Each structure stands twice: as structure tokens, then as C-alpha cells.
Amino acid sequence: MSLKLIDAFLEMILAERGAAGNTVIAYRRDLKELYNFLDSKKTRLEKATKEDLQDYIAFLKSSRLSAKTGARRLCAMREFYRFLYSEDIIKKNPADYLQSPKLNKSLPKYLTEAEIDLLIKGAQEKNKQIYFMFELLYATGMRVSELVGLPITVVTHDLSTLTIIGKGNKERIVPLNENARESLKNWLDERSKNEKKKNSKWLFPSSSKTGHITRDGFFKAMKTIATEKGMPLSRVSPHVFRHSFASHLIQHDADLRSVQKMLGHANITTTEIYTHILQDRLKKTVENSHPLSYSRREGL
């Protein structure tokens, strides 16, 4: 019965919460890990006690997982048992009031503004479509899955905003700055001159089965350009562009709530990973402005 309960839970988050496909896949994997752990203790999912789950948490802590993976597995476990309790499959929720280990949040990787410019210029020299995609990715902070699957209908008449369908089919409107509007206009002009692309329903068409450039295709193009510009591949990815967008906004005094809306985060706590930027900025402010700071004493 245990594995069928996992399927029932996944069907619920897909149907009732509109969970993204990748989320469902990740939760399935996480709950299978929990199933395997409990099975090794000769315990079924629906029979697990609070002590069993505490042992599982200790096991996760000893497994040296990344903070993100560990946090997701704990979340999957809690959500799963909340579901079982709400469906009256179990009479008591063993995940209630569990003490979870504090997981260190890994700081997001991001590039400097100069490094972003270098990649964008590299794309401009090599591939016009990828160049415009780089521009739009950096200007909006979109997820790569959102970028590659943009329909042509997202483009407004005045090019001032884009309506993006994000995780869970949630819609958000992202404003475009002047540079992004100019880039988008140039891409639409370029696209209209190409007989194979101008009638496509996708903003960034390709000959792939989907009809638009794929995530893998875009990532490969990004890696090629990074290599040509002498940048370590470990530092470059579409998600790093997203992190860079958010980090640079905060560096230039944007507030977290605005960044949250533009990134499409459901919860402000997700956006709070960027507070390291605020901390760096506050530190510099103290160093440069406090009357007892070393830099100011130097000038006395």
C-alpha cells in the first residue's frame, strides 16, 4: 500500500495545487528515499512513528546532502504526512512537532555585471537568437523553462511588459526596461524576416520537436559562449542569470517584495536568499559612513 499512497499524494499536488512537473518528479524521488529508509527498518510509510522520522532526519543529516536537497526532502516528508492525516489514512501525524536540523542556506551563485555583459556580447557575435534570449533572461529573471516556451502572444503592443506563466500555471507580469524593449523589438524585426520563424506560435522558434528552442539547446549554446570567453563553466548556467538579475537589482536598491514578484516566488522566504547582498551593502555603508570607520579616520 505504501507506494500507492505516494502516487495518491502526487496526484493531489498535481491536481489541486497545480504543482509543476519537475516538482512532482522531485517529490516522487524524495518520498521513494523515505520509503526505502523505512523499509530497511521493516516499517511501512503509513505505520511510521515520530521516532522513525527522527531517525530519517538524522540519516539525512549524515548523508551530506546539499542544503537545498535536504530541505526539500524534509518538506516532502511533512507534506506527505499532512496529506495522509487530512485523508484520515493515519490517525496521528508523526511529522508534527518534529525537530528539524538547521540547514545552512547556500548562497546563490551570481555573475558580476561585467561578466554578464561579456556573455551577452559573446552571444551577439555568435548567434542573434541566443543573444536576444540572453538579453531577455537577464532583463526579466525568468526561469529558463519559462523563457524557451514563451508564445509570441506574450508580446504586448508597446513591448512594456511580458506576461509569464510560471510554476503551477501562475501568471505574473514582468516589466521590461528600455534596453530590453529595444532588444525585443530588434528580435521581432529579425524574426519577421525569417520565413521559417515568422509564422511560428513561439517567440523563439526552432526545428526541435517542441517547435521552440529547448532548455538543453539553450544551455549548450550558453556553455559554448562561456568557453569562448574564458569563463569557468561551473559559474555559468541559465539559473545563474536568474540569480544575477535578482542580486543586481538588490545591489541597486530594489526591495525584496518587488524582486519576489518579478521572480515569481510564492513565498518571500525563497527570495530572502538574496539578503547576503543587503548585508554586504550595509557593511560597506558602515565602513564608508560611520565616523569611527577606518576609511574615514584615514581622511582626518
Q: How many angstroms separate the CA atoms of 52 and 108, rounded?
A: 33
Q: How far is CA 220 from CA 118, 213, 216, in A?
A: 17, 11, 6
C-alpha cell read off for 248: 543586481
Among the listed residues 53, 97, 60, 55, the one whose alpha carbon sits nearest the alpha carbon of residue 77? 53
Contacts of 145 (CB under 8 A, 6+ apart): 22, 215
Amino acid letter, residue 90: I
Active site residues: 143, 167, 239, 242, 265, 274
- Name the 3-class secondary structure at 171: strand
Virtual CA dihedral for 262, 168, 266, 35, nearest 10 degrees?
-140
Radius of gyration of the chain (CA): 23
Q: How many angstroms separate the CA atoms of 54 and 35, rounded?
A: 14
Q: Which residues are bridge partners to 163 per DSSP?
A: 173
C-alpha cell read off for 115: 561578466
Which ranges of 87-214 would DSSP assign to H, the alpha helix?
113-126, 128-140, 144-148, 178-192
